[in-house]
Amino acid sequence: MKDYYKILGVSEDASEEEIREAYYRLAHKYHPDKGGDAEKFKEINEAYQVLSDKEKRAKYDAMRKSGFGEMPFEETWQPFGFEYDFGGFDFNEFKVDAFEDIFEDIFGVPFKRRKTRGRDILIDLEISLEEVLEGGEREIELFKWNICPRCQGKGGEPSSEYLVCPSCNGKGIVEEIHRTFLGTFTRKNTCPQCNGTGNIPKTKCSLCKGRGKIKSSKKITIQIPKGVEDGERIKIKGEGEAYGRGGEPGDLYVEFHIRPHPLFERRGEHLYSKVKINFSQAVLGGKVEVPTLDGIVEVKIPPGTSPGKLITLKGFGLPKFGGRERGNLYLKVEIKIPKKLTKKQKELIEKLREEGI
C-alpha cells in the first residue's frame, strides 16, 4: 500500500490545511504542463483525494493499522493475533483486478495501469524579445524515434499475416504470481513480446525489423506563446519518442530561453532602458526620439529633469503570459556631458555659472 502521508510530505496527524498546502505546492511543482513528472503528479493527486476526505482518510488509516502496509512475500509466514473481517472473501484466488475494484469502492480512486509509451523529449529554444512580444511559430527538426512509415507502427510487412502471440495467448498481458500470507496475488503486466497488442507479425517489417519505429528526422512547428517567461516550458503532446507496436508516443517539452537584448532589460512584463539627453534638454525640457519594440517613439522631456529619473511609457512593455494586457517601458534618464567644448560653448557655460546655474 502506498504511503500517502510520505507522498505529500506530511505527518500522520497533519491537519486538513497542512494537507491542502502540501498538495498545492507539490502539484504546482510536478504538473505535467510545466514539465513536471506525470507519474509523480498522478501519485500526488491520488494521495490528496484520499487524505483530504475525512471518511476515506479514516478507512485508509484503519487499513494501514491493520497490516495492509508493506507485506512480506513469504509463503510460510503466519501472523499472530491478526484479525480482520474480510466478509468471507477468498484471497486464495485474489486477482489484481479484484483489488482494483475494492480499492475504487473504498476510496473512489480508480487504479490505472501504466500504458507503454515512448520517452519524453526536452529541448531548449532560444527566442528574442521581439518574439516574446509578437508570439509566432518556429520550425525545428528533431532526429528521434518515429513511427515506421512502411508498417505504420505495426511491426510487420504490409502484406504480412499476424499470429496470436504465444507468450500471452492473444491477451496482451502476462501474469506474475506472488504469494503472501493473505494468499496468492496475481499481477498483470504488458506482454513484452507483443507490447500488449496480442499478436505478432508472421513477417517482420523490412524497414524497422519489427520494432514499429525507426530513427529519422522530423520537422515540428512550435508555437511561441506571447509573453512567455525565460525558463517557461510548454508541452507538445505526442511529439516525443515513438514507442512502436502497441504503445503511445511520448511528449515533447520545449523550454524557452530569452536572448539578451542590446537595448532592453526585461523584468516580468516590464522593460527597462535608457534615454540620453543633453544639458539644455534636462534644464529646459524638450522632445527626443527613443527606440521601443514597436518602433521609434517621440518622448516628452519635462523641464528640470534630473539624472536617474524614470520616464514611463505605458503599454510599451511585454504582454503578460497568455494575456493581451502589456506592461510598461521605463526609461532611465542619463545626461550627456560633453568632453570637449568649443570656445563659444565655454563662454556660455561661464555665463551660466556666473548666474548660479
Provide the pLDDT for residue 246: 78
In this chain, the answer to whether the domains covering 4-70 and 119-150+211-260 adopt an identical fold is: no
Give CA–CA dist 142/138, Å, rounded.
13
Give CA–CA dist 112/96, Å, rounded.
11
Give CA–CA dist 154/208, Å, rounded.
10
Share of the chain above pLDDT 70, in %: 82
- The three three-digit cell numbers of residue 32, written as one number: 505535467
Q: What SS3 state is found at 237?
A: coil
Instruction: Give the pTM.
Output: 0.61
Question: 35 or 191: whose pLDDT is higher?
Answer: 191
- Using alpha carbons only, give the angle 309, 315, 319 rounded to the nearest 5 degrees: 120
Question: 289 or 66: whose pLDDT is higher?
Answer: 289
pLDDT in tens, 167-223: 889 888 888 777 665 566 677 788 888 888 889 999 999 999 999 999 999 999 999
Provide the pLDDT for residue 67: 57
Q: What SS3 state is found at 295?
A: strand
Provide the pLDDT for residue 149: 94
Crossing angle of helices 38-51 and 54-65, in 10° steps, is 100
Amino acid at 77: W
Closest CA to 246 of 311, 153, 341: 153
Spans of all domains in the chain: 4-70, 119-150+211-260, 265-354
Half-sphere exposure of residue 27: CA atoms within 13 angstroms, side-chain side: 13
Give CA–CA dist 175/168, Å, rounded.
9
Of 9-18, 60-69, 163-172, the one with minimum mean pLDDT is 60-69
Question: 186 or 106: whose pLDDT is higher?
Answer: 186
pLDDT for residue 94 is more than 60: no
> If you average pLDDT over residues 78-95, what whole number do you get?
34
Q: Contact 26/9 with Cβ under 8 angstroms?
A: yes
SS3 content of the chain, % helix, strand, coil (to 5): 25, 30, 45
CATH of domain 119-150+211-260: 2.60.260.20
Share of the chain above pLDDT 90, in %: 46
At 97, the pLDDT band (50, 70, 90 cuts) reads: very low
Closest CA to 52 of 106, 15, 26, 101: 15
Spatial neighbors of 148 by CB under 8 A, at least 6 apart, are 155, 205, 207, 208, 211, 212, 213, 214, 244
Maximum alpha-carbon separation in the chain:
110
CATH architecture of the domain with range 4-70: Orthogonal Bundle (1.10)
Of 57-66, 70-79, 97-106, 131-140, the one with minimum mean pLDDT is 70-79
CATH architecture of the domain with range 265-354: Sandwich (2.60)
